[in-house]
Amino acid sequence: MGIREDMPLLARHEGVWDGTYTYYNAAGEKVDEHKSRLFCRFLGDDSPTPYHQTNHYTWPDGRTEIRDFPAAYRDKRVWWDNELIKGSAWEVGQDDHSRSVMLFWERTGDPTLYLYEMIQLSDCGTKRCRTWHWIRNGQLETRTAIQESLVTKDWQSLEP
């Protein structure tokens, strides 16, 4: 079986998503907020990176950033190992509603920092919310709240 068959919930995330990332420090104070456009692609089981995500960020002051996350697939997980992160994503099998995907990753080169992410996809498949918990040396450092809406399933039509 391939990635789409093994991870049908993640496959429902394919497409282009627009959203807002809001960052809070450990005291709950907002420390950053910016817009996003994410391209979530499934490139086929014969590709060395069958899942490939590209994130475009835009801040109110005009700054922009693009981050690229090609991922391998094995053992019913998507795996990243690049200059920024090392980790994986998996579907939560005990979720009777098939809405939840979890991620764990560490910052490459910084063993003191790791992150857990939970993604919740709406039943209609057009809305999702994500939360990140950044942990440094066993202590909460940052929380990130992300709200997104599906722009199109056809990521190729909007590919830059």
CATH number at residue 39: 2.40.128.20
Helix or strand or coil: residue 4?
helix
pTM: 0.95
Average pLDDT over residues 1-14: 95
Pick from 72, 66, 36, 46: nearest CA to 54:
66
Residues 96, 85: Cα–Cα separation, whole Å: 30
> What's the number of domains the chain is made of?
1
The pLDDT value given to residue 106: 95
pLDDT at 1 over 90: no
| Residues spanned by the domain of 104 | 3-157
What's the confidence (pLDDT) of residue 95? 84
Q: Is a pLDDT exceeding 90 seen at residue 133?
A: yes
Mind listing the pLDDT tens digit for each residue in 72-86? 999 999 999 999 999
The pLDDT, as a whole number, for residue 4 is 95
pLDDT for position 121: 97
pLDDT tens digits along 98-125: 999 999 999 999 989 999 999 999 999 9
| pLDDT higher than threshold 90 for residue 160 | no
pLDDT digits (tens, 9 = 90+) for 40-72: 999 999 999 999 999 999 999 999 999 999 999
Residue type, 10: L
For tokens 């450092």, the residue is: 141
Q: Name the E strands within the chain.
A: 15-25, 30-42, 51-58, 64-74, 77-81, 85-91, 100-107, 110-121, 127-136, 139-152
Tell me the pLDDT band of 94, cut-offs 50, 70 and 90. confident
